[in-house]
A and B are shown apart, each in its own frame.
Chain A
Amino acid sequence: MTTATLSAGTAQASPNFSSHKLTFLGAVRGEAIKFRTLATNWIMLAVTLLIMVGMGAMFAVATNQMHESALAAQEAVVVGAAPVAGPTVDDVYNYARGIGDSGMMFGSMLVASIAVVFIGSEYASRQINTTLTAVPRRTTAFVSKLLVVSLWTFFIGFISAALSYGIAQLILDSAITEAVAINGDVVRNWVAVGIYCMLMSWMGLGFGTLLRNNAGGIVLVVVLMFILTIALNMVAGASELIQDFVPYLPMALGQSFTAVGVADDAAITNLEAGLWLSVWCLVPALLGWARLALTDSK
C-alpha cells in the first residue's frame, strides 16, 4: 500500500469544492447509496418479498377452501337448513381481492427490522459520527434516512402485495378469479400494504434511533406489534376498556387499514385505521428524532 506523493503540482491542482453546498437532496442521495450498498438490506428485502408472496400463495389455497365452505353454506340456506357460521361468498371474494396483505403481519415486522438496522448499525459501527459530520443538521440527517427507508419499504410492500395477488390468481379457483377481477379495491389494497410497511419503517427507525441499538429496537417493535396484541387479547374479556382498545393496537389497525370491503359505517374505517396507525408510528419516529437532534451522538 503506497500513498501518492504530495508535490507542488498536487498543490496547484488542488480542487476547490467550496461552491458545493450541503443540500437536503444531497443528504437523501447519500442515504440512498448507503441503503443500496449494504447486502443486508437486499437480503432482508428479498426475505420480506418471499415471505409475503409465500403467505399470499398459502392464503389462496385457504381461500379456495373457504369458498367451497361458503358455497355449501349458501346452498344449505336455499334448501332451508340452519345457517352455518363462517364467511359468506362475498366475504371470500373480498378476502381474494385483499390477498395482497396476507403476509403483511410478518412482512411488516421485517421492514421495521430493516429500518431499525439501518440506523442501529450506524451506532454499532460508529458510522453515525461520520454521517453527522457530513450532515451536521440532525433533522436533515434524520428526515433523509426516513425518506429513503420509507420509499424502499413502501416499494417492497406494494410489490409484494401485487405479486401475491398475481400468484394467487394462479392458485384460486376460476369461480373466484372470474368474480374478483382487478379493480380499484385491489389496487387500493396494494397501496395500503405499501403504506403500512412504510409506517412500520417509521416505527423501526424511531425505535432504532431512540435506543441506538439493533436488538433493542427490534425487541421494542416485536413487543408493540405482537406481545402487546397477544397479551391484551388474552385479558380483553376482563375489561370493557381493554376490549375497546384492542382494535386500536397497531397490528389490528394495520389489518383494518388494508382490508377490502370495509363498510363506510364500520366501527373503524380504512381511513381512520390508517390515521391511528400513523400516530402509533409517528410517535416513535418523533422520539427518535428528538434523541438524535437534542443529544450527543455518543
Chain B
Amino acid sequence: MLEVRNLTKKYGDKTAVNDITFTVPDGRVTGFLGPNGAGKSTTMRMLVGLEKPTNGTALVDGQKYRSLPSPLTSVGALLDAKAMHPGRSGRAHLRSLALTHGIPTRRVDEVIELTGLTTAARKKVRGFSLGMGQRMGIAASLLGDPQNIILDEPVNGLDPEGVIWVRNLARHLASQGKCVLISSHLMSEMSQTADDLIVIGRGKILANSSMSDFLALADNSRSLVRTDQREVFAETLTARSITFEPVDTDGLLVQAPSRDIARLGVDAGVLLHELTPQIATLEDVYMNMTRNEVEYQSGTFTTPADSGAAEADAPSPWAGKEAKEQ
C-alpha cells in the first residue's frame, strides 16, 4: 500500500506538489492523472525517495522508502524509460540491480523474457528505442516481484501489442493483491486499466475516487442531432433558450434530453435523421476537470475560413448559444 500524507514539494518559490493526501490500496490499479507539470512524477519520485518532501510523508507499506530493508522487493518503479547507462547492455543493467538484493540471475532472464526483450537484452542500451527502454524499465520494476508497482507513463512509445500487454500486466498484478499506481495521458487506456483514479492539477488533488464515481461526474445530458434543416432547428432551440453548438455541417450538440429534442423536431416539422445521446468519456470528464489546471496551455489552430467567419456580419444562426453564454 502506498500512502501520501500532506505531501508538499517546493522548488524555490514554485510549489510542485501542494499538501496532497491519498492512499493507493493493495489489489487495485490506481490511475494517476494530471496535465504536464501537475506534480505526478514529483509525487512518484518522492514515494521512492528520489526527492525529499518539503512537508508531509510518502510511505510504502507504512515505511519511508529509504527505511525499507528490501526496496526492490517492496516497490518496483518505472519512472524514466531511459534511466540507464547507454554504454551498458540491458541485461547487465538488470544484473547490476539484481545483485544489490541478491536476486538470482535466472530472475533477470525471466523478466527479460516476460517483457519480450530476449533478443535485445545483450545489446547496448544506446541502441534501444523508447519502447524498448520502456520494456526494460518495466522489466527492472518487476525484478524483485514487488508488492507495490509504480509506473510513470509506461505505455509511452510502446506498440499496440505492448500497450495491451501493460494493461494486462497491471490488471494481473492487481489480481495478485499487489498495489499498482500508474500514470498515463492515454485516457482510453486508463479507462480500461484503472479501478480508481487520482487526478492532480497544479500540485493539488482534484479528484480521488473509483472510476465509476469519476465517470458519474460527467455531463451526460447532451445529444447530437443531425438534420438537413439545421438553421431552422437552431432557431427553434434558440426560441426555447436551449443551449447548443454546431457540429460539422449538419449537426448540433444540444444540451437537452433526447426525448425532448425529438419532440421539438416533431413540433417544428424538422426531420432529425440522427439523435444520439452523448455519453461522456473519461477524457471528457478529465478535460473538463483540468481545464483550468493546465500548466502548459497549447495554442489553438485557426484556419483562414474560421477567421473570416468570425468577422462576418451576417445574422448568426447560433445566436441561441451566444445568448446563453452571455
B interface footprint on A122-155 (CB within 8 Å = 1, 0 otherwise) = 1001111110111111000000000000000000
A86 is an interface residue with CB less than 8 A from chain B: no
B33 is an interface residue with CB less than 8 A from chain A: no
A150 smallest CB distance to B (angstroms): 18
CB–CB A15/B100 < 8 A: no
Contact of A134 among B66, B97, B165 (CB under 8 A): B97
B245 is an interface residue with CB less than 8 A from chain A: no
B interface footprint on A6-38 (CB within 8 Å = 1, 0 otherwise) = 100011001111101111001101110110011
Contact of B107 among A1, A3, A15 (CB under 8 A): A15
List of B residues within 8 angstroms of A6 by Cβ: 165, 168-169, 172
B120 is an interface residue with CB less than 8 A from chain A: yes
Q: Which of these binds chain A: B85-93, B200-208, B227-235, B273-281?
A: B85-93
A267 smallest CB distance to B (angstroms): 45
A–B Cβ pairs within 8 angstroms, 25 of them:
A1-B119, A1-B132, A3-B116, A3-B162, A4-B113, A15-B145, A17-B72, A17-B73, A22-B68, A22-B69, A26-B101, A29-B99, A29-B100, A33-B99, A37-B96, A121-B87, A125-B84, A125-B86, A126-B82, A129-B45, A130-B84, A133-B48, A134-B97, A136-B66, A296-B52
A17 smallest CB distance to B (angstroms): 5
Contact residues of A between 173 and 200, Cβ < 8 Å to B: none
The answer to whether residues A125 and B82 also contact, given A1-B135, A22-B70, A134-B101 and a CB cut-off of 8 A, is yes
B315 is an interface residue with CB less than 8 A from chain A: no
A65 is an interface residue with CB less than 8 A from chain B: no
Q: With the chains together, A125 CA to B97 CA distance in Å?
A: 16
Contact of A38 among B71, B87, B169 (CB under 8 A): B87
A139 smallest CB distance to B (angstroms): 10
B216 is an interface residue with CB less than 8 A from chain A: no
A40 is an interface residue with CB less than 8 A from chain B: yes
CB–CB B97/A127 < 8 A: no
List of B residues within 8 angstroms of A4 by Cβ: 113-116
The answer to whether residues A23 and B102 also contact, given A38-B85, A297-B50 and a CB cut-off of 8 A, is yes
Residue of A nearest to B51 (CB): A296
CB–CB B71/A22 < 8 A: yes
CB–CB B120/A1 < 8 A: yes
Additional A-B contact list (9), CB under 8 Å, known A20-B70, A22-B68, A128-B83 = A6-B165, A11-B175, A26-B99, A34-B92, A38-B85, A121-B85, A126-B80, A130-B140, A137-B66
A interface footprint on B125-165 (CB within 8 Å = 1, 0 otherwise) = 00000011001000010001101000000000001011001
Residue of A nearest to B68 (CB): A136
A39 is an interface residue with CB less than 8 A from chain B: yes
B211 smallest CB distance to A (angstroms): 21
List of A residues within 8 angstroms of B97 by Cβ: 30, 130, 134
Residue of B nearest to A141 (CB): B100
Q: Which residues of A contact B (CB under 8 A)?
A: 1-4, 6, 10-11, 14-18, 20-23, 26-27, 29-31, 33-34, 37-40, 121-122, 125-130, 132-137, 296-298
B2 smallest CB distance to A (angstroms): 14
Contact residues of B between 37 and 79, Cβ < 8 Å to A: 45, 48-52, 65-66, 68-73, 75, 77, 79
CB–CB B50/A1 < 8 A: no
Contact of A20 among B84, B102, B176 (CB under 8 A): B102
List of B residues within 8 angstroms of A29 by Cβ: 99-100
Q: With the chains together, A27 CA to B147 CA distance in Å?
A: 21
B103 is an interface residue with CB less than 8 A from chain A: yes
Q: With the chains together, A122 CA to B88 CA distance in Å?
A: 11
List of B residues within 8 angstroms of A126 by Cβ: 80, 82-83
Q: With the chains together, A125 CA to B133 CA distance in Å?
A: 13
Name the residue among A2, A22, A39 with the largest chain B CB count within 10 angstroms.
Answer: A22
List of B residues within 8 angstroms of A135 by Cβ: 71, 100
The answer to whether residues A33 and B95 also contact, given A39-B87, A297-B50 and a CB cut-off of 8 A, is yes
List of A residues within 8 angstroms of B165 by Cβ: 3, 6
Residue of A nearest to B91 (CB): A37
